[in-house]
Amino acid sequence: MLLGRTAASLFWMARYMERAENMARLIEVSYRISLMPKPFRAHQDDWSSALKSAHCEATFADKYDTASQENVIQHLVLDRENPSSIRSSMETARNNGRAVRTALSRDVWESLNATWNELSALRMNQLSSDKLPGFLDWIKQRSMLFRGAMLGTALRRDSFHFCQAGAFIERADNTARILDVKYHILLPRGAGPGSSIDRQQWASLLRSVSAHRAYRWAYRDASYQPWNVAQFLILNPAMPRSLLFCYDWISNNALSEIEEEYGDGTLPCHETANKTMALLANANMEKIFQNGLHEFLSDFIDRNNRLTAEIATAYNFP
């Protein structure tokens, strides 16, 4: 038996851990671009596009006038008033975990708690820009430790599946948003290699989902092809951050396991997840580009949000 509140806490705990890790990657990439010589920095607004991908434009605008590197990093890393900053995400993940620690294995709880203990001891001014890469690396490692503890020690039952549903819904949302902010650089533009600026943008996009090396193994091209980059992140079933991969987990694994365990029949959340899964499984890039990549991605983000709401209703989240 699982309380509705416990299920909600597990779902959001996993979601916020995933969010912290994704945020670390996003900042890492933006920071890397900021170190490039000027000509490669095509757009003045690299930092504002990071804000957009992180869905933090509104909270940022409330506090700052200009999207300078310093301001954006401050807002995305340590700002307590930004609910999606790395610090806030870690705190929310840990507080959710703390509220339901009876539902967590000791290893999972310890990984969460130790991370928060270290992070909460960190002062703003201790994070100078030379320390930033190390810090972001540490955040990724802690998130991976958490995931590892979960995979290695959690009983495969409803509580675990709610965590997995949360993590993959967050991951799908993250990949879709990153793509949507940069969709224009992926649009087909006749033959021929892209400019060096284009190549730089494609590489960064892949990097922000830790996929620039994997891409080489998945596609044999000597250089990045925007078509393939999009295919890789949306429809490649082997790529663990692609939308298809995420939905395979959400629909065919997490939610269907819960459905089976409970035997209460198919609820609207299952229907939505299955529909999105079918949509991805039957899609091909040609059609997606024909109908509009941006339209496809915004539709996906909406469906994904609706799924969260439906899961909350189906399982009595408070």
Residue 114 vs 218, nearer CB to another protein: 114
What distance lies between CA 18 and its chain's CA centroid?
6
Residues 156-185 as x/- pattern, contact with another protein by CB under 8 A:
--x---x-----------------------
CB 72 within 8 A of CB 51: yes
> Among 57, 105, 114, 281, which residue sits at the site for another protein (rule: CB under 8 A)?
114
> Among 1, 35, 58, 155, which residue sits at the site for another protein (rule: CB under 8 A)?
1
> Among 43, 45, 81, 117, which residue sits at the site for another protein (rule: CB under 8 A)?
117
> Among 32, 41, 98, 306, which residue sits at the site for another protein (rule: CB under 8 A)?
98
Residue 71 vs 113, nearer CB to another protein: 113
Q: Is 4 in the site for another protein (CB under 8 A)?
A: yes
Residues touching another protein: how many (CB under 8 A)? Answer: 27
Residues 6+ apart with CB under 8 A from 138: none
Q: How far apart are the first and last CA of the chain?
A: 16
> Among 32, 101, 199, 303, which residue sits at the site for another protein (rule: CB under 8 A)?
101
> Among 34, 69, 95, 253, which residue sits at the site for another protein (rule: CB under 8 A)?
95
Residues 6+ apart with CB under 8 A from 186: 179, 202, 205, 226, 227, 229, 230, 293
Residue 251: helix, strand or coil by DSSP? Answer: helix
Shortest Cβ 258–another protein spacing (Å): 8
Residues 6+ apart with CB under 8 A from 39: 196, 197
- Count the alpha carbons within 13 Å of 281 in the hemisphere toward its beta carbon: 11
Q: Where are the alpha helices (DSSP H) in 182-283?
A: 183-186, 196-207, 212-218, 226-234, 243-247, 256-262, 268-281
Q: Is 125 in the site for another protein (CB under 8 A)?
A: no
> Among 57, 110, 257, 310, which residue sits at the site for another protein (rule: CB under 8 A)?
110
Residue ranges that bind another protein, judged by CB under 8 A: 1-7, 95, 98-102, 106, 109-110, 113-114, 117, 158, 162, 258, 262, 264, 315-316, 318
